Amino acid sequence: MLAEDTRRESLACARWGVRVQRFVSFHDHNEEDRGPEVLDWLRQGKSIALISDAGMPVLADPGYGIVRACREAGLPVSVVPGPCAPVAALAGSGIAPQPFVFFGFLPRGRGDQKKTLEPYARLSCTLVFFERRDRLEETLAAAQALLGPREACIARELTKTHEEFLRFRLEDLPDLSQILGEVTIVIGPPEQRLRSSDGEVRSVLEEEMLAGGPPRAVSKRAQARLRGWTVSEIYAMVNEMKTARQR
C-alpha cells in the first residue's frame, strides 16, 4: 500500500481490520523517484493501493504522476472514490455547481493570485480552492477586488465531527477570526443581472475623480458604490477617461 504517512495509515487500517502486506511511503517529495519501482511491482502482478492522509488521491494529493505513468505503460488503474473536499464543499455550498474550476491552493503572492483569478472575472463558472485559515480574510478581500460581488461559502472540517458551511457574499465578509480547521472556499459565478451599466460607472467615476486621489484609490472608492465591476475594470476606465480628457 502506498501511503503519505505509513504510521498513520497503518493505525487506520488496523482500526478498520484491513490487512496490508506492506506499507510504502509515497508523497509529493518522493513520487517521481518511487514511480519506476511501483511500475515494476505492477508488472510483476502485484496489487497496489494508493491512499491519502485525508481526501482523494491526485486531487491536491499525491498520485497524478503514477496514474499517468500506469496509463502510458498500459497498466490498469481502478478508482474507489473517497472523501474529496472540493466536491463535498461544492455539493454542500448551495452555489451553482456547473461548470466549476478547482485550483488546489492559490499562489501566495498578490501578483500571482491576480494572474490566477482575474481571467475568471467575466467567466460564468464557480471557483473552488483551499486556503490556510490565517490567510482567509486577506485572500477573500483580494478575490472580491478581482472578481467583484459574488456568493461565497467557507466549508471547514468536511466529513468530520465539526463540519460547518458558512455562506456569505464577498462584498460583505463576516468575522473570520474564529474559523478553525481545514478550509475549502467556494466562490459562485458572476451575477450579470446585478452589474452596473457603463453610464453608471462613468457617472460615479466623475464624482470620485473630482474628489481626488491616485487612480487606484479612485477605482477602489468607485467599486464600493457599484455592482458587478472589479477594481481592475474600473481602473482601466479611469485611465480611459483621463486619456480622453487630455486629447
Residues 6+ away with beta carbon under 8 Å from 100: 90, 125, 126, 127, 128
- The string of pLDDT tens digits covering residues 193-202 is 567 888 899 9
Q: Which helix (H) or strand (E) holds 50?
A: strand 50-51
Residue 52 contacts residue 4 (beta carbons within 8 Å)? yes
Sheet architecture: strand order including 24-25: 24-25, 2-3, 50-51
Same domain (yes/no): 126, 216: no
- The string of pLDDT tens digits covering residues 100-124 is 999 999 998 888 998 999 899 888 8
Q: What pLDDT is recorded for position 126?
A: 96
Query: Dmax over Cα atoms in the chain, in whole Å?
Result: 78
Asked whether residue 79 is assigned to any structural domain, the reply reads no
**133 has pLDDT over 80:** yes
Same domain (yes/no): 30, 49: yes
**192 has pLDDT over 70:** no
Q: What pLDDT is recorded for position 194?
A: 64
Q: pTM score, two decimals?
A: 0.72
Domain boundary among 40, 73, 106: 73
CATH of the domain at 93: 3.30.950.10
* Cα–Cα distance measured from residue 100 to residue 189, given in angstroms and rounded to the nearest whole number: 9
Mean pLDDT of 142-157: 91
Q: What pLDDT is recorded for position 191?
A: 74
- The string of pLDDT tens digits covering residues 217-231 is 999 899 888 877 888
The count of structural domains within the chain is 3
* Cα–Cα distance measured from residue 235 to residue 190, given in angstroms and rounded to the nearest whole number: 19
| Domain that residue 176 falls in | 85-192
State what percent of residues in the chain have pLDDT above 70: 98
- Mean pLDDT rounded to a whole number for the chain: 90
* Residue 160: CA count within 13 A, CB half-sphere: 14
* Cα–Cα distance measured from residue 233 to residue 89, given in angstroms and rounded to the nearest whole number: 30
- Cell numbers at 238, concatenated: 479611469
**32 has pLDDT over 80:** yes
Domain boundary among 53, 73, 93: 73
